[in-house]
């Protein structure tokens, strides 16, 4: 019978999400740094979180290299401690990444909900609860065995250290609480922007699309829910390398999808620049290459270039917005009203003043024959 090995399955998930996260965070950096010409705290935090997530992915791949995903009987005994060591590193880093992703989404929403005090209080309270609990939880993960190195030597025939690990309840109950708290926080962060958008002067379709953009950063809660039934795989069991695979897969999907989705929610200005799902100022959609829209597309592009020229600062340098809705406008969340050109205003003034003071004579009046009137 062929040896069953789920390591390649786990490795494929890790590599795909690692590349996907690199692409989405890279596009976020380009959008914020070069399209909008600003870089805020949540953008820097996404870069830091990406680096930590890359370390998580590499740790998991090393653990797979030394036997994670295989049956214990199929892995040389001297490989077990190495596989368990890198599995332990991945567990600790997972907790850190899951907390940082919440802050990425939360800081973005704090900027959008700048005038709603109750929403700001809710977001800060939620982030505080998540931080405090996960500080406790990460100590549970780090100190699950005493001494710490006993975790990866505990299945060795002749371990170099002796010790003991936490009781099963101390291993599973905080994990279930963490999962439920993650789901709750994801849904709260997804639902908070609805009241902001629904009270704005936008048509129904635009409101729905905006809410979807803001909520996309919380889509990873679906993976968190799927991860709940596999939390028991944290417990010690005879086939500890193979039986951990399902929990490892869903943990990777959870944080990888959360990091990618939080970046996708910021890419609307890039799509506008590339004429992907571009909207006119009145909300109608323009397709790429649509006939009869060349003038409108050019006018929209020129208007947006003029608008951005007044708002831009140096790339990757923070700046303060002069108006409370500037952030929403730049992110494409609230449509900007068409601005009147200074040239049009001056021309109108220069024409209206002489007409008001000096009515035109008959010789100055237009020849109506030129307009084919009889």
Summarize pLDDT for 310-356 with one digit per residue, the tens: 343 344 444 443 333 444 455 554 444 444 445 555 555 554 445 44
- What's the pLDDT score for residue 189? 82
- What's the pLDDT score for residue 328? 47
- What's the pLDDT score for residue 61? 96
Q: Encode pLDDT of 57-78 as tens digits.
A: 999 999 999 999 999 989 999 9
The beta-strand segments (E) located in 99-173 are: 145-146, 164-165
Give the residue among 264, 179, 191 at the shortest CA–CA distance from 222: 179
CA distance linking residue 33 with residue 316, whole number of Å: 5
CA distance linking residue 222 with residue 261, whole number of Å: 12
Q: Print pLDDT tens along the chain (374 aa).
A: 345 889 999 999 999 999 999 999 999 999 999 998 889 999 999 999 999 999 999 999 999 999 999 999 899 999 999 999 999 999 999 999 999 999 998 898 888 777 778 888 999 999 999 999 999 999 999 998 999 999 999 888 888 988 888 887 887 888 889 888 988 888 888 777 777 677 666 667 767 766 776 666 567 777 888 787 877 777 767 888 898 899 899 999 999 998 998 898 888 888 888 877 554 444 444 333 344 444 444 444 544 443 443 343 344 444 443 333 444 455 554 444 444 445 555 555 554 445 445 555 544 444 434 334 33
Query: Does pTM top 0.85 for this prediction?
Result: no
CA distance linking residue 199 with residue 113, whole number of Å: 12
Query: What Cα–Cα distance (Å) separates residue 103 from each residue in 106, 127, 269?
Result: 5, 7, 22
């Amino acid at each position: 019978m062929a040896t069953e090995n789920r390591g390649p399955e786990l490795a494929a998930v890790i590599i795909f999400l690692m590349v996907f996260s690199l692409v989405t965070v890279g596009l976020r950096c380009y959008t914020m740094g070069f399209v909008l010409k600003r870089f805020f705290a949540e953008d820097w935090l996404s870069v830091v979180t990406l680096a930590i997530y890359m370390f998580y992915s590499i740790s998991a791949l090393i653990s797979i290299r030394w036997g994670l995903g295989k049956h214990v009987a199929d892995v040389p005994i001297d490989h077990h401690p190495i596989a368990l060591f890198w599995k332990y590193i991945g567990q600790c880093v997972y907790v850190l990444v899951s907390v940082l992703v919440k802050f990425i989404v939360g800081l973005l929403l704090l900027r959008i909900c700048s005038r709603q005090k109750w929403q700001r209080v809710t977001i800060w309270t939620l982030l505080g609860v998540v931080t405090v609990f996960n500080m406790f939880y990460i100590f549970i993960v780090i100190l699950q065995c005493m001494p710490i190195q006993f975790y990866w030597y505990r299945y060795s025939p002749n371990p170099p250290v002796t010790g003991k690990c936490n009781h099963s309840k101390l291993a599973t109950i905080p994990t279930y609480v963490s999962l439920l708290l993650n789901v709750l926080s994801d849904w709260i962060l997804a639902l908070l922007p609805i009241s902001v958008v629904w009270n704005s002067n936008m048509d129904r379709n635009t409101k729905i699309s905006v809410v979807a953009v803001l909520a996309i950063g919380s889509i990873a809660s679906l993976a968190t829910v799927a991860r709940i039934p596999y939390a028991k795989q944290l417990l010690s069991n005879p086939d500890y390398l193979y039986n951990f695979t399902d929990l490892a897969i869903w943990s990777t999907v959870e944080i990888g999808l959360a990091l990618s989705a939080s970046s996708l929610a910021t890419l609307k200005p890039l799509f506008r620049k590339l004429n992907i799902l571009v909207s006119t100022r009145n909300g109608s959609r323009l397709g790429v290459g649509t006939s009869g829209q060349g003038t409108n597309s050019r006018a929209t592009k020129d208007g947006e270039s003029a608008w951005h020229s007044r708002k831009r600062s140096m790339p990757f340098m923070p700046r303060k917005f002069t108006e409370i809705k500037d952030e929403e406008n730049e992110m494409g969340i609230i449509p900007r009203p068409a601005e009147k050109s200074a040239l049009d205003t001056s021309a109108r003034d220069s024409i209206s003043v002489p007409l008001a003071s000096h009515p035109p004579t008959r010789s100055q009046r237009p020849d109506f024959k030129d307009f084919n009137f009889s």
